[in-house]
Amino acid sequence: MIRVGVIGTGAMGQNHVRIYSEMNDVELAGISDIDKDRVESMAAQFKTKAFTDYKKMFAEGLDAVSVVVPTKLHKQVVLDALEAGLHVLVEKPIADTVENADLMIEAAKKAGKVLMVGHIERFNPAVIRLKEIIDSGILGKIVSISTRRVGPYNPRIRDVGVILDIGVHDIDIISYLYGKKIKGVYAIAGADIHYFEDHASIILRMDHNFAGVVETNWLTPHKVRHLTAIGVKGVAYLDYIDQTVELHDNGWIRKAKVEPSEPLKNELAYFRDCIQTGREPNPGGEDGKHALEVAMAAIRSYEEERLIEVGE
């Protein structure tokens, strides 16, 4: 039995709490939040212990924690958890700076603990199926992957812009589907309703002229989560929300078989399995760092109005 805790009980943290409370081989040993009333109410609902100081929760004999706090707090909370000897799942993006991501990755290596980054779309059944299809060669060589992740602004997002909040999902997924690192970024973006950017069009360049395009905003009144993968033998259309994949070629339009399931449940089950087996997580710290590097390069690109090489 793995004893876990959740640090941060906002909208996403509440989902971590709910799913851990339902999982086999997992005991939800405690939850922590600076909002005393909220954390105590949730603790009563899920029959666990409430803490306003997450370090006190570590004394409950935990094996692991989910860190679901604002991005700017990730580094310190993750370092404290690793120092306490805990495995860590930290929500995306891994950190607010690449330097802080490096500190977290090194601390996890030193502690010999799992550091997994919550890029939840990796565990979307439609993405898993599309990855299988691409790797099988059915679509032939993939030359372009484009995504559209748009919707209304969520006022709870205050510390980052749309690129780091939701655009980073598709940055990670495009790299994952290609199986390649992103080398260069060019972005056009702006801030109209938010302190940080609230709309962005991002072009990604991989080796050998493979391309990715991410369109994202907080301005569209309805939520859209789509991906298109173009190959020399066919095209795949993916809907993240409906969890569907449709294949088009010269002769047929076919729907791939996808078994719907909740991505976060899949993600947390995988985290548990990594702890139990000692398997290196995918996405791990380096994957999270790469997505962050690309997202930060996109922000620099629109600010400086030029192509940015990743790692520049």
pLDDT tens, residue by residue, 96-109: 999 999 999 999 99
Mean pLDDT of 140-148: 97
* Backbone φ/ψ region at 309: left (φ over 0), alpha (ψ -120 to 50), beta: beta
Q: State the DSSP string of the chain.
A: -EEEEEE--SHHHHHHHHHHHH-TTEEEEEEE-S-HHHHHHHHHHTT--EESSHHHHGGGT-SEEEE-S-GGGHHHHHHHHHHTT-EEEEESSS-SSHHHHHHHHHHHHHHT--EEEE-GGGG-HHHHHHHHHHHHTTT-SEEEEEEEEEEE--TT--SS-HIIIIIHHHHHHHHHHHTS---EEEEEEE-SSSSS--EEEEEEE-GGG-EEEEEEESEEEEEEEEEEEEESS-EEEEETTTTEEEEE-SS-EEEPP-----HHHHHHHHHHHHHHH-PPPSSBHHHHHHHHHHHHHHHHHHHHTS-EETT-
User: How large a percentage of the chain has pLDDT more than 90?
Assistant: 94
pLDDT tens, residue by residue, 238-279: 999 999 999 999 999 999 999 999 999 999 999 999 999 999
pLDDT, position 66: 98
pLDDT, position 277: 95
Mean pLDDT of 306-311: 94
pLDDT, position 156: 76
Please give the order of strands across the beta sheet that includes 64-67: 50-51, 26-32, 2-7, 64-67, 87-91, 115-118
The answer on pLDDT for 122 being more than 90 is: yes
The answer on pLDDT for 131 being more than 80 is: yes
The answer on pLDDT for 312 being more than 80 is: no
pLDDT, position 248: 98
The answer on pLDDT for 124 being more than 80 is: yes
Phi then psi for residue 63, to 5 deg, are: -100, -30
Mean pLDDT of the chain: 96
Mean pLDDT of 10-35: 97
Burial class, 250, CB count within 10 angstroms (exposed 0-12 / middle 13-18 / buried 19+): exposed
Distances (CA, A) of 230 to 134, 139, 143, 204, 239: 10, 8, 6, 15, 15
User: What domains can be seen in the chain, in order of their start residue?
Assistant: 2-119+265-281 (3.40.50.720), 121-261+292-309 (3.30.360.10)
User: For residues 177 and 158, which has the higher predicted lDDT (pLDDT)?
Assistant: 177
CB 46 within 8 A of CB 15: no
Mean pLDDT of 163-176: 97
Q: Which amino acid is at 286?
A: E
pLDDT, position 155: 80
Q: pLDDT category, 195, cuts 50, 70, 90?
A: confident
Half-sphere exposure of 282 (CA within 13 A, CB side): 6
Cα 85 from Cα 64, distance rounded (Å): 8
The answer on pLDDT for 54 being more than 80 is: yes
Q: pLDDT category, 160, cuts 50, 70, 90?
A: confident
pLDDT, position 175: 98
pLDDT, position 158: 73
